[in-house]
Amino acid sequence: MKWKLPKIKIKLPDHLFSKCTVLICLGFIIWYVIASMNGYYELKLEPTNLTPYVFGFFGTELCILAFKTIFTTKINSDSKNIEDIKLDIDEKLNIKNGGKEK
């Protein structure tokens, strides 16, 4: 007897890895700032020298993801061009001849 797993197709959102990475980076930076401020004001500890490196690492990671997302986005072939959008707006507003009356 051979067992077969059902074939399930799951449609994942676009850029799921990037979105999760951004949330993790921002969450860690917020946690780090809160912990650092708590240590400084409540416990009277000096801020660590690690702060610029944490901001630099996570800031660089976020910039790389932003550039990757910007430069790898594809323009869908079925997307409307600017003339189609203008025509749709004109139809909705009942403007004829580009807004010029005869």
54: nearest Cα among 28, 19, 24, 21: 28
Helix axis angle, 51-72 to 16-41, nearest 10°: 160
Give me the pLDDT at residue 25, please: 93
Distance CA(73)–CA(79), nearest Å, equals 13
Q: Which two tokens stand for residue 96?
A: 């004829």
Per-block average pLDDT, block size 10, for the chain (102 residues)? 76 78 93 92 87 93 86 56 61 60 49
Specify the pTM: 0.57
| pLDDT at residue 59, as a whole number | 92
